[in-house]
Structures are given as C-alpha cells and as structure tokens.
Structure 1
C-alpha cells in the first residue's frame, strides 16, 4: 500500500495514523480484528516501535551527616567497617572527585535542594531557611507524578515542606541516628507511583549517640588517625565513636538495599549515597580543603550503571538537582545553576566540569572564604577575614580531639593550622602532589600562570553570581577558645549576596 494510495483513501484533515485506523475499521467489520490489523500496520511504519517507554526511575538519596569522603571502606579506609556501603560501591560507581559547595550542614543541603550556590539561596549561613520563591527539585518531581518524602534530619526551612508528600522529621520516631523511619517509608509507600526519598541521617553528627558505642564494632586502638590530629588515647576514642556512628548508618543502608531486592524493584531504583560535609573534627568540617569539601559519592542503578565503575571527572553537588530531574526526564527550572552529569553514569571517563566552587560562611563563627578547584587538581582560596582562626565549628573545636591539640606542645605545622592567626588572604595548592593541601604555593613562580587563571575565574564567578562581602558579617556566637556563649549570640549580620539580591540571580558562573 503506497503513500499515494493512502492519501486518496484518508480524509485530508486526519493524520495518517488516525486515518489508517478509520480506514481499516470501515474495511473490516470486526473491531477486534481491525485493532489487530491496525497494530500490525503501525508496526510496519518507519520509526514506529512497540517497545514501551522506560518507566521513570525510583530515586533514593541517602545523605550522611559529617562523614569524611575517606572514612568509607570503598574509598580506602581499611579500619572503618562499612560492608553495605562497600557492596553498594562494588555494585555501581564511585565518584572520586565530587565536591560540595559548602562544608557546613544546612548550606550544603540547601545548595543540593535548589541546585544553587549557597550565596544564591538566601540561606548561605547555618540554620537560615530557604526563601519561598526558589524551586526545590523534589517539588518538580512531585509535580510530575512522583511520591516524594523526607525522613530524618531536616533543617532547610518551612518553605521546603511543599516539596514532599510526606515529611517524617519527628526525632523520637526517627531514632538517635535519624534512620528509624526509612524502612517503614519504603514498605508503605504508594505502590502505583515512582518515588523519591531523601533519607537524611543524624549519623555521624556530634554528640555521639549513647546507643552507638559498640553498636557493630568495638574499634579500641584499631583506628586510622588523620594526620592533622594528635595520635592520643582521647583522640582515638573520639574517632572510635565516630566510626561506630558510621557503622550504624551503614547498617540501615544494608536494610534499604535488602528491602529493594525483596520488593523486586532493585533494577529501576537509583541509590545515591553522599555526605553533607567533612568529619566533625578540627581541620575538616567547615574547611574548604579536601578534608572539608570532598564527599564520598556512590551511585547504584542496575538499569544504567555498570558494576565496579569509578569516575574521575570533576563534579559539584550543585549539579545534583539538574541530574535527578534529567534522569526523570523533567526539564530543570531556570533557577537551577548546576548542570546534569547524567552522561557520566554511562561514560565515567567523559569530561565534565573545569571548575568546582566552595564557600565558608558563618557557622557558629564569623567567616568568609571562597574556593575554586580545577579538574587538574589545583585549589585556590581567598579569605576576607584573615585575622580569625579557623578551628572549625563549636562541636569540632570543643571536642576531645581538639582539646588534645590545644594541650600538646609538639604539634607539627599541619596540626597547628587550626590555631594559625592571622591566616593567609590567598592560598594555592597542587592537589596532584599535595592531596592533603598542606603546602601553600601562592608565592611560587612556577605556578604563577595557574594562580593568575584561578584568581580571574574566582572574580568572574563572584561577579556573575552576585557574591558580596558584607562589612557587617554575622559575628561569633561563641568564644573561639572556650566555646562559651558570647553576648552577640542570636544576632545576624548581612548575608553574603544579599546586597545584590543574589537569591534571584540565576547566572551559574564559569563551568
């Protein structure tokens, strides 16, 4: 049957497909037979496929609290016990260069939720709520047929409630680790919808849970002490309790994987595991070095991701919102500054970012630092409050590990860094040779080209995204040495970016 014949037989106002159906219905009396013939005829047309479109993926996003990237077995720590996370990694892909936009709890999470840099969210400082005018990526999933829920830690502001069908944030019901409702939510969700779950633990945030000491493993002296801490009995015990909290989180990750297998939905469920910032010890949390901003990032999705993969491409957490929406075939809002890295899930060696940016704003103590990393491993930082020390937030600088550092007389230069005052206004590190960011190369002539380039990139990013340095930043709320509350506690200064209304600027800056 030729197209010329079809044009004569079909009414000119009808499409070929609709016209074909009416034609066959007239020629063949039986509607069932007509339908069968119709299907067969359509199947023979160019470009027609009987294969049903792939269903949107279920998404489980697990975000740990204060867990360093290298405190997971899959990332090389042979002391901490994380069998379920290690299995997740071996069954999927680990990212070795995923960086956060802030090494501070709520700014890191609000950046992920909006796909925007902290100063572009209107919530750049700890415990400040997101404004209502922004779009949250779970909200877009919900509008497009997903059942969305958050269970566990939640402090992104009341406006974010609208992004979830269910919000399970009762601390008693969630348990000390924040994972108590995860399994229940997975078992009792609406079965007719794809789902997005934001599973948010309190593990491993200080203070250490009374339930986790000896929860899975008693580490005693079997600890890997980071180089910037003192190898002492009190620090080892502090780290052992931290390990135990990671162990409890790992246990619940195992439960989730097992339940997915039980329900038979593993194949089409994307699981993502990451942390919001570095470990709650001096020199990590709130810092813009790799000890603070680099995060573990594990992805498992049998439908798309091959097992045992690793990705070296530079990626930022600002890209997560765009990626989740892309995987669900939903266009990203204009407010999202990040870019989808979907292609890396099937081609982990592909090029992606040239630059990843980070911020350190107020978190218990006044601060203003910015950083930019490159895919080659260079790191450039600026500090607009260089007269201040950088010992981390109060939970870190009042910890047993911090007290050990304060009382010691034989610290090396790397351990003394948290007490350094004044600090450098600029820093530059070559991560390929110095992965711990120990040696500031800012004055080295052999790196002049790289330093000048990143200095220019930093200025461009700040200008295009509306970043500002307020004269009146939020002050210290606690004494930096003793941790005691100061008279200024509870007062806020001006938020970075507020003077230029940066929460309504959508420019992403250099990529």
Structure 2
C-alpha cells in the first residue's frame, strides 16, 4: 500500500516537473505573434512609385513589397496634411476627434495610440525618423525622432531620454542606420516588435543626397497632361490656391538657385529664399559636404542665368517643373535604396516570414498635375496615398485591391493582426478581410474626408466630402459655399465639375444623403465646423 502511494507521489512529482520544464521552454521560445514594420515617407506621391506607374521613376525595393504582397490602388487619407494624417494613423480616429485638425492645433495627448496598446500587450516598440508633432511619443520603448520637420543634412534627433543629439550625414541614410542598429543590437529575439520607420524625405525642400542630386540633374522628366490646367471647369478653391509651380514655387528655396543670382538678375526674392542657403540645409554642411554640393549648385545657377531671361511663362513653368521633379525624385531614390537595406536585413535574419511590412506616405502629392505642387485638396493626387503591404502566408503575393481604404484603418488592422483588442472608439475598419480574401466581411462603399487649414499656407479652402470608386462629392465652405462633383469613371483626372449637370441630379442627391450619413457616423457636424473656424 505504501509502495503504491509512493509510486503515485513520484509520478505526480514527475508530471509537475515536466510541466515546469515545458513552461520554461515556452518562455525561451519566441513569441509567435507577427512583427509589424511600418514604413512611411513624407509627401511621397503614388505616381512616384513604379509599382503604380513607371513613367517618372523606378523604385525596385518599394516595388518588392507589392510583388510579394498587395498593392492598394484606392488607398486614401482623411485629411491631406502631415501632422493630422500622422495623428489619424496613431489613433485610428478622424482629426476632429483626436484634435489635430491642422499642423498648428495641438494633438489631444489623452488619446490612446495603437503603439501604447502594443507595448502593453508585450511587444517591443521603437520609432525612428519623423513624427512631426510632439517630442515624446507614447508607447515606445525607444525612439529617436527629428524635431518638427527635421533637416536633411546632419540632422538633430530627440531621444527617449529627452535630450537632442546631432547625427552627421544624410537623414534618409541615418534614419535607416538607427532602425537597423535597433533591429540588430537592441531587439529581443523572443519578443515580437512594432517598429515605425519614418522618413523625412521627400518633403519640401526636396534636398537630395549629393550623388543623387548630380545624377537626376541630368534627367528630363515627363510633364503631366494637366500642367497648364486653367481650372475653367472648377470652382473658386482651385483658382485661388497658392501652389502653382510658376507663381508660387520659390526659385531659390525650392529650385536651388543661389539668392545672389536672383539679386544680380534683378529678380524679386522671397524671405524664404535665403532660408535654404543660410539656415535650413547649406549652413549645416561640413566643408567636405559643401565641396560635393557646390559644383551641382553652380551648374543650376549657370543654367538659370542662360535660360531664364529668354523664356516666356510656359517656358519658366517647365524649367521650374524640371528642377522640382529632379530633386523630388532624387530624394525618393534614396528612400528606395534604404527600404531595400531594411528588407534585405529581414531576409538575411530570417524575419521575413513572420513580419507584416507596410509602405505608405502621410498623404499624396501633386507632381505638376493641374500645375501644382503640395497636397491638401481632396482631388485625386493629394487624396490618394501609396499603400503596399506584404505578410507571407497571409497575403498572397502580387495582388492589387481597388477597395476604398484609408489611413484611418491602419491602427485596427495592426491590432487585429497582433491579436490585440481594439478600443471601441476607434473609427476605422481592419483590413484583415482584404488581406485574407474574406470579402464577405468587407462592405465599405465610400470614405469621408475633411480639410481644415484655411486661412493658411497655400490658401486651400476648407472642405469635406465623400468618395466612392465611381464618384466624388466635395463641399467647400467657410468663406465660400460651393459644391463639386466628379464622375471618376468618365473623368478619372477630375477635370470637369458636373455638380450642376442635370444628368447627375439623382447621383448628386444620393451622394449628399450618403455624405450626411458619414458625417453622423464619424461624429462630424456643422457645429464642429464652426467651432474649429472660431478657434
């Protein structure tokens, strides 16, 4: 009898020991939840990614994400301006809810961001690059972010400790170096990670790395068909916006012509023209760096002196367009190179299979369409944003989706992918059904947009609207009361406002009803419009 009891005791101890050993082994095994690598550039137009359109540039590394995953052809933003877009991404809420309606209005710091939820759920979290608002983002074990807009050359970074340090070199390379260093030396291999890898480029003033600058200066960039749009079929907003390449692009600050050359030629300058050479970029260069850039800038000055006096307005527009696009695309080429470095690291370290990789921008951008640069409008080139996602074993490679998705959806998508419960007050929809092909779980037909920064830089009037795959309805308000309607199937470049066309009467009526429904759904209203105008 005693032997039997002793046997049972020994057996129980053996089972207990096995369970404890099993638990210890589980602790040592890597967490199976996916890593999230979120890559975002600033003002990167979808037209300047060859996976979308190879007319302007070849971006082989960014294209790898599309080739190995999914490209979204109808990805849009809720508010096409930098800081509000980033606030929407972090919170999963429209800007009228998170408080960041424009670049100046403060973000509501009581808002919960998705990185906070990842950190609480046991993810290792890091952010490197450009946040653009606030100096202490919540939810990150480590961060190094540029103050405000940041600088291209020898940039400063704010660290987790609250201090500011300077790193020597080109910002796009440095942000990548910091990200790779964290992955290599600071990442816990037994924990899943969330890393936000955020480029300053290709934001204005589009300052390229020296060798790219030199290479792209020799390129002739194709012009868009609407470069000389006269806005005859649009309303007041398009006609009064101050982002025309000829009229509003600065010859020195944007096109890199020495201010003294403009003075010598008797050309009126803008106070910001001095800023590039005496404050923003050139003054930060070391003597060695200046030696690389000065011959390129000398070549631009010589070309300007020779050609500018002989050109009419169209010729000057074309000259500025070429200068703009050469620098913009050169900046993107460096982004693409560096994205390749990070993708290569994932592959070389067996991280590809369990990492969800996203490439996007904080909004779209005008590359001469309608004669413009910048963003802000709900018109296509500004409203749409690149979105490429790969996740082996979940997303089939080489897929294109034309579903109406938004940056509003990112937070809930990442949370669901990681198995983390999303707060009920988030306003987006998870893209997981699109990743997995479960289309019966996806029923969105239209998206909502609202832009607020007026009066302000570029003078784009306040407006809100609704867009489906087939139609777009926009209401400009505040100091005007104008509506615009575009038939996106017949007029994909949005050249003709058909709001007053009797043939679109029923469509106009339905879209207004649907727009009212979206305003209610997202808790936006005329009362809020007036509140934000007053503030």
Range class of TM-score, shorter chain: 0.7 to 0.9
In the alignment, what sits opposite 1:225?
223
Query: TM-score of the superposition, structure 1-length normalised?
Result: 0.72
In the alignment, what sits opposite 1:467?
525
The separation in 2 between residues aligned to 1:454 and 1:462, in whole angstroms, is 12
What whole-Å deviation, never above 9, does each CA across 1:372-426 have from its counterpart, x for those lacking one? 111x321110000465xxxxxxxxxxxxxxxxxxxxxxxxxxxxxxxxxxxx710
In the alignment, what sits opposite 1:44?
none
Tell me if structure 2 keeps the 8 A contact 1:212–1:244: no
Tell me if structure 2 keeps the 8 A contact 1:314–1:352: no
Q: Which residue of 133, 144, 163 corresponds with 2:139? A: 163
Alignment of 1:64-213 (within 5 A): 64-158=41-135, 161-170=137-146, 171-172=155-156, 173=167, 175-177=170-172, 178-191=175-188, 192-211=190-209
Query: TM-score of the superposition, structure 2-length normalised?
Result: 0.69
Tell me if structure 2 keeps the 8 A contact 1:65–1:277: yes
Question: How far is 1:120 from its partner?
Answer: 1.2
Question: How far is 1:107 from its partner?
Answer: 0.7
Residue 400 of structure 2: SS of its match in structure 1?
Answer: strand
Alignment of 1:345-424 (within 5 A): 345-347=435-437, 351-362=442-453, 364=457, 365=459, 367-374=461-468, 376-385=469-478, 387=480
Tell me if structure 2 keeps the 8 A contact 1:142–1:164: yes
**Residues 329 and 473 of structure 1: is their aligned pair in 2 closer, same or farther, counting only changes over 3 Å?**
closer
**Residues 86 and 219 of structure 1: is their aligned pair in 2 closer, same or farther, counting only changes over 3 Å?**
farther
Q: Gaps (5+ residues) in structure 2?
A: 20-28, 147-154, 157-166, 229-316
In the alignment, what sits opposite 1:479?
none
In the alignment, what sits opposite 1:244?
330
The separation in 1 between residues aligned to 2:180 and 2:139, in whole angstroms, is 21
Question: How far is 1:190 from its partner?
Answer: 2.5
**Residues 190 and 441 of structure 1: is their aligned pair in 2 closer, same or farther, counting only changes over 3 Å?**
same
Q: Which residue of 486, 490, 494 corresponds with 1:433? A: 490
Q: Which residue of 407, 413, 416 corresponds with 1:317? A: 407
**Residues 332 and 292 of structure 1: is their aligned pair in 2 closer, same or farther, counting only changes over 3 Å?**
same
The separation in 2 between residues aligned to 1:243 and 1:94, in whole angstroms, is 21
Alignment of 1:337-348 (within 5 A): 337-347=427-437
What whole-Å deviation, never above 9, does each CA across 1:226-256 have from its counterpart, x for those lacking one? 3332571221121111111111111110010
In the alignment, what sits opposite 1:271?
357
**Where is the helix percentage greater, Structure 1 or Structure 2?**
2
Question: How far is 1:91 from its partner?
Answer: 1.1
Select the structure with the greater relative contact order (CA < 8 A; seq sep ≥ 6): 2
Residue 292 of structure 1: SS of its match in structure 2?
Answer: helix
Tell me if structure 1 keeps the 8 A contact 2:449–2:466: yes
Which moves more between the two structures, 337-346 or 361-370?
361-370
Q: Gaps (5+ residues) in structure 1?
A: 1-22, 39-51, 388-423, 475-492, 495-511
Tell me if structure 2 keeps the 8 A contact 1:215–1:247: no
